[in-house]
Structure 1
Amino acid sequence: MFEPIIPLVLFAIVATTTPGIATTLSTASGAQFGFRRSVPLLVGSAAGLATVTGAAAAGLAGLLLAVPSLQLAMKVIGSLYLVWLAIKIGRSGPPNLDVTMARPNSFLGGAGIQWMNPKGWAMGLGAAASFAALASGPMQLALLLGATFGLAAAASLSLWCVAGMLLARLLKTEWQWRALNIVLGLVLAASIVPMWRSA
């Protein structure tokens, strides 16, 4: 019953877990302020990504319904973007935790990060093109992607926040960070395969 959405869930988990602006800020906030004081940032960032992916899906899904041949082109472009992102992630080193904040970021600050984040819009467009068949229309796709990405972001950013309190002690070398990023990059690249198998 849930098998058709497994590739979407895997994609959302990997996409929201890989290092980026929101994960770095969540990690730094956890390191500086602890989990409880970082909750507004985490919830705002998750809600921001949910609205971004939902809006991207609603607009693109309508276009795909009007011109179905665009779905293949968008899937190819989305797959190429994900391969590029996987390579970039795999080659990256440790995150920059030298983000200094006078006080924890707010709900609107967290949401604003996502609204202005090109990665979030690209994820939303790529997911809409790849998973349009899971919904019967643009609004259903927007709700599905918004909920999936919002929940995935809430979970992954919470983990990064907790990791901010622990990673500085556990991962001491650049090589250790590179190994983690290589694994994340490979998992992201692997998430492309199920998207094409369900086509």
Structure 2
Amino acid sequence: MSLRDCLPLIVFVIVATATPGGATALATASGAHFGYRRSVPYMMGIAAGLGTMAAAAAAGLGGIVQASPNLQSALKLMGSLYLAWLAWRIARSASPHAGSALRKPIGFAGGVWMLWQNPKGWAMTLGAAASFAVIAHGPMRLAALLGISFAVAAMASLSLWCIAGLALARVLRSQGQWRCFNGVLALLLVASVVAMWLP
């Protein structure tokens, strides 16, 4: 398999993981409130969740999720409630130094769970599995290729969003600025919940 064969997949996973959404908004908030080092477990959880989801989609599990409307609805509802709760916590936060509602960063398990309950994530990785099946010989090789590609791209893009949050934290001085920043991030998270319910 040549680099030329993999280039469309590389472009796809970079775009898919770098575009704003719930995970990127949370990475930005985590970077601003806790710094890069303390945000690593969350980012690794998201990367592992997306990588294993992509591998599972390539291996066939994604088809089960896509074929079961009840399972999709249950995942969507649980994910929406979880993200709405996180948005509420972020919106209530002040600066990291003022007894904020965000007392500790989301951990590895929270990152994995956030990805695995997202039906749009399943649709994206299943679409990738279908679109790029021709570049790998067999479902297990495709699962490994997609899993590694999505995990690496997710970790890289979330790192950039986290560093952006860390840089913003150095600019924000007043409690009002922090409340505005946290309000914008909370609204972005709510927007990702709304997008999850759109056809």
Q: Secondary structure at the match of 1:103?
A: coil
TM score, norm. by length of structure 1: 0.64
Q: Name the structure 2 match of 1:166.
A: 167
CA displacement, residues 150-181 of structure 1 (integer Å, 9 cap, x when unaligned): 000010001110011235759x9xxxxxxxxx
Q: Name the structure 2 match of 1:183.
A: none
Q: Name the structure 2 match of 1:11.
A: 12
Unaligned runs of 5+ in 2: 65-87, 94-101, 178-199
How far is the alpha carbon of 1:117 from its aligned partner?
A: 1.7
CA displacement, residues 18-52 of structure 1 (integer Å, 9 cap, x when unaligned): 11111111110001000011010011110010011
Q: What is the percentage of aligned positions where both structures have the same residue?
A: 59
Letter aligned with residue 46 of structure 2: S
Alpha-carbon distance in structure 2 between the residues aligned to 1:152 and 1:16? 6
| Counterpart contact for 2:27–2:43, Cα < 8 Å | yes
Alpha-carbon distance in structure 1 between the residues aligned to 2:123 and 2:10? 16
Which moved further from structure 2: 158-167 or 105-114? 158-167
Q: 1:140 to 1:53 in 2, by over 3 A?
A: same
Letter aligned with residue 140 of structure 1: R
Aligned length: 141
Pair 1:118 & 2:114 matched? no
How far is the alpha carbon of 1:62 from its aligned partner?
A: 9.4
How far is the alpha carbon of 1:145 from its aligned partner?
A: 0.3
Q: Name the structure 1 match of 2:85.
A: none
Q: Name the structure 2 match of 1:127.
A: 128
CA displacement, residues 102-155 of structure 1 (integer Å, 9 cap, x when unaligned): 211111011111111223212111101110101111111111000000000010
Alpha-carbon distance in structure 2 between the residues aligned to 1:99 and 1:119? 27
Alpha-carbon distance in structure 2 between the residues aligned to 1:99 and 1:130? 42
Letter aligned with residue 160 of structure 1: W
Q: 1:61 to 1:139 in 2, by over 3 A?
A: farther
| Counterpart contact for 1:12–1:148, Cα < 8 Å | yes
Q: Name the structure 1 match of 2:30.
A: 29
Alpha-carbon distance in structure 1 between the residues aligned to 2:62 and 2:136? 9
Alpha-carbon distance in structure 2 between the residues aligned to 1:131 and 1:61? 15
| Counterpart contact for 1:57–1:142, Cα < 8 Å | yes
| Counterpart contact for 1:62–1:138, Cα < 8 Å | no
Unaligned runs of 5+ in 1: 64-95, 173-199
Q: 1:153 to 1:134 in 2, by over 3 A?
A: same
Q: Please report the RMSD computed on the Cα atoms of aligned residues, expressed in angstroms.
A: 2.8
